Amino acid sequence: MNKTIVVIPSFNELKTLKMLLPKLQEKNINFVVIDDGSSDGTFNYLSKNYEKKSFIHHIDNKGYENAIYSGYEYAKKNRYGYLATFDGDFQHDISDLI
């Protein structure tokens, strides 16, 4: 198991997640999307297309900081050694993760 995980907080970013997540998979980058109460169908998309371990769903929007914290807790619980945060809106470049 790769000991690095990328935490992606997301609120109504379905359009860009559909482009971002396949690219992360192509590079074998572990990720967890924190769907922070999105109303754009993000949860349904993630549920249908990704394993449950790839996302966390907040029913209500708890805010960016709480989404990041959920990702930290997930990484700790699953014994990842390294964590990077990555915005779901392509603000960051995937090549920077490598």
- pTM for the model: 0.92
Residue 1 predicted with pLDDT over 60: no
Residue 97 predicted with pLDDT over 90: no
Measured CA to CA, the distance from residue 32 to residue 47 in angstroms comes to: 13
The stretches of the chain forming alpha helices (DSSP H) are 14-26, 42-49, 64-77, 94-97
Q: Is 51 in a helix, a strand, or coil?
A: coil
The larger pLDDT score, comparing residue 95 to residue 55, is at 55
Measured CA to CA, the distance from residue 25 to residue 8 in angstroms comes to: 14
Measured CA to CA, the distance from residue 5 to residue 96 in angstroms comes to: 14
Residue 2 predicted with pLDDT over 80: no
Residue 15 predicted with pLDDT over 70: yes
Measured CA to CA, the distance from residue 37 to residue 53 in angstroms comes to: 17
